[in-house]
């Protein structure tokens, strides 16, 4: 089963609205990362939140982490059409820390 599972699988919103994506994971982690992928291209690192952090901001991005619920959320405020992409959460492996486990991703479409 997937370590990181994103929810929803697909999200369609209008420009200017906020987009919220959720991620759940199963094991203990020391950090959680969010990545973005434009269609068929490489992944772009967005933000890393450590297990002792509850919230982190980067520009229009806000990430929260709840280790008691083993969940994280990514909020994109004031979305733009250019934010349309797939978003993945990733967690490091238990036995090999640099081995990232990704979920299936959330496909975000921002309509102009």
Partner 1 sequence: ETGVTQSPTHLIKTRGQQVTLRCSSQSGHNTVSWYQQALGQGPQFIFQYYREEENGRGNFPPRFSGLQFPNYSSELNVNALELDDSALYLCASSLATGGRETQYFGPGTRLLVL
Residues contributing to the site for partner 1 (CB under 8 A): 2, 4, 30-31, 33, 35, 40-45, 48, 50, 88, 92-93, 95-105
Q: Report d(CA 60, CA 77) in Å as an integer.
A: 5
Return the closest-CA partner of residue 71 out of 16, 25, 8: 25
Q: CB of residue 106 vs partner 1: minimum separation in angstroms?
A: 10
In the complex, the smallest distance separating the C-beta of residue 90 from partner 1, rounded to whole angstroms, is: 8
Nearer CB in complex with partner 1: 15/73: 73
Q: Which is nearer to partner 1, 19 or 36 (CB)?
A: 36
Least distance from C-beta 15 to partner 1, angstroms? Answer: 25
What is the nearest approach in angstroms of partner 1 to the Cβ of residue 76? 19
φ and ψ of 36, to 5 deg: -120, 145
Query: In Å, what is the CA distance from 19 to each residue of 60, 72, 93?
Result: 11, 14, 28
Q: Residue 41 and residue 61: Cα distance in Å, rounded?
A: 21
- Which of residues 18 and 26 has its CB atom nearest to partner 1 in the complex? 26
């Amino acid at each position: 089963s997937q370590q990181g599972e994103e929810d929803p699988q697909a999200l369609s919103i209008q420009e200017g609205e906020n987009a919220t994506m959720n991620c759940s994971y199963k094991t203990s982690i020391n950090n959680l990362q969010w990545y973005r992928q434009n269609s068929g291209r490489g992944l772009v690192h967005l933000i890393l939140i450590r297990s002792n952090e509850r919230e982190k901001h980067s520009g229009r991005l806000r990430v929260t982490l709840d280790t008691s619920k083993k969940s994280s959320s990514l909020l994109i405020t004031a979305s733009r059409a250019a934010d349309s992409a797939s978003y993945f959460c990733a967690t490091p492996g238990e036995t090999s820390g640099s081995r990232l486990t990704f979920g299936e991703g959330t496909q975000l479409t921002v309509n102009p």
